[in-house]
Amino acid sequence: MDLNALHKLGYGMYIIGSHKGDKLNGQVANTVFQITSEPPTVAVSINKSNLTHQYIDASKVFTASILHQDTPLPYIGNFGFKSGKDVDKLKGINYKIGETGAPVFLDHATACLEAEVVQAVDVGTHTIYIGRIVNAEILSEDACMTYEYYHQVKRGTTPRTAPSYIAGEKGGEK
């Protein structure tokens, strides 16, 4: 069995936002996907140890900003390799408060979505949140970043808390 086959699955790159009262946070995710078209719903898989998980559990809302291909690695690193428990990730970042009350991140985004959680599925280390779309906007027509591009061209790495982390792979926290 060669689990590297899982690296061939296709994803985009997203910043997920949520809130708990007036506290805001965001994190990188690669697993955002449409679930149904009628009504329009999307799902996102979030590690239970992440602060954003706590916030989505509390507010039952999340946002997703879809990153363009040329998003700088430090921008991704800010959201992907730091914890909102330790630092204020939103310092110096452009965002607006969406209809859901959660932050919608505007830098390097081709589009953004807002969703209200209708179902939370416990899948062990992660929860899959399924959300009904309440807002969706296109922000640019730039090419979107794929997870493959992030790895192969940008030489980005995967944190241990990601669904797609494979033990022993090159990289890790940076």
Binding site for its own copies (CB under 8 A): 1-6, 8-13, 31-43, 45, 66, 110-113, 119, 121, 123-126, 128, 130, 133-138, 144-148, 162-167
- For its own copies, the closer of residues 20 and 169 by Cβ is 169
CA-based nearest residue to 109, from 61, 143, 73: 143
To its own copies, the closest distance from the beta carbon of 2 in angstroms equals 5
Place of tokens 């985009």: 12
To its own copies, the closest distance from the beta carbon of 140 in angstroms equals 10
To its own copies, the closest distance from the beta carbon of 96 in angstroms equals 15
The answer for residues whose C-beta is within 8 angstroms of residue 34's C-beta and 6 or more apart is 40, 41, 42
- For its own copies, the closer of residues 83 and 164 by Cβ is 164
- For its own copies, the closer of residues 6 and 87 by Cβ is 6
As a whole number of Å, the CA-based R_g of the chain is: 15
- For its own copies, the closer of residues 85 and 160 by Cβ is 160
- For its own copies, the closer of residues 6 and 58 by Cβ is 6
**H-helix or E-strand containing 74?**
helix 73-80
To its own copies, the closest distance from the beta carbon of 133 in angstroms equals 7
* CA 155 vs CA 80, 82, 114, 173, 174: distances in Å: 14, 18, 29, 13, 12
Place of tokens 């506290």: 23
CA-based nearest residue to 114, from 142, 127, 95: 95
Local structure of residue 143 (DSSP, 8 states): P
The first and second tokens of residue 70, run together, are 């040329």
To its own copies, the closest distance from the beta carbon of 102 in angstroms equals 16
